[in-house]
Amino acid sequence: MSRAIVIYGSNTGNAEALAQSVASGFEEGGVEVTIKDVATAKGDDLASYDLVVLGSSTWDGLHDDFEDFYQKMAGLSLAGKKAAVFGPGDSANYPDTFCESVDILEERLKQCGADMVTAALKIDRPMGEEMDEAAKEEAKTWAVNIARAL
């Protein structure tokens, strides 16, 4: 059985809600999953997983909670690991930085040698609006599809 870790950073709870849906999708797809807030995650956590999934909202660039983790990732080798990234953003109010954290984290995973298994999932949600059921279902389906492809 494949093992995945989902690490998320969330200010308003939207990225966390998506992370829960992603974890649910992996479980449905037969993947053993661990979910962690990036504030408690360590780079060493990634070594024992087949799939590394990062999820982050965007607040003017890389999400603040991801800064330390992102810096520590610079020295990691994720060769042989599969990876994916997801996150919410607000394209109407922040068109120039829509889901910028997602792009930044995806690039770091590639720099670490990870194999990106799918396109990043970017959920467009107006600032301050809670994640709706349709968005949560989209995240779950995204994860189920990844699980089935492993």
Q: What is the pLDDT of residue 11?
A: 83
What CA–CA distance (Å, rounded) separates 2 from 49?
8
Residues 6 or more apart from 111 whose CB is under 8 A from it?
74
Q: What's the pLDDT at 103?
A: 96
Q: What is the DSSP letter of 73?
A: H
Predicted confidence at residue 3, as pLDDT, reads: 97
Please tell me the predicted confidence (pLDDT) of residue 116: 98
Token pair 């109010």 is at which residue? 93
Tokens found for residue 81: 């690991």
pTM (2 d.p.): 0.95
120 vs 84: CA distance, rounded Å: 6
On the 0-12 / 13-18 / 19+ scale of CB atoms within 10 A, 9 is buried
CATH at 33: 3.40.50.360
Mean pLDDT by 10 residues, the chain (150 residues): 94 93 98 96 89 90 87 92 96 92 96 97 90 96 96
Q: What is the structure's pLDDT at 43? A: 84
Per-residue pLDDT at 129: 86
Instruction: Classify strands 115-116 and 51-56 as parallel, antiparallel or unpaired.
Output: unpaired
The predicted structure's pLDDT at residue 28: 97
Quote the number of domains for the chain: 1
Residue 59, SS3 per DSSP: coil
- Residue 75's pLDDT is 85
Structural domain boundaries, residue 114? 3-149
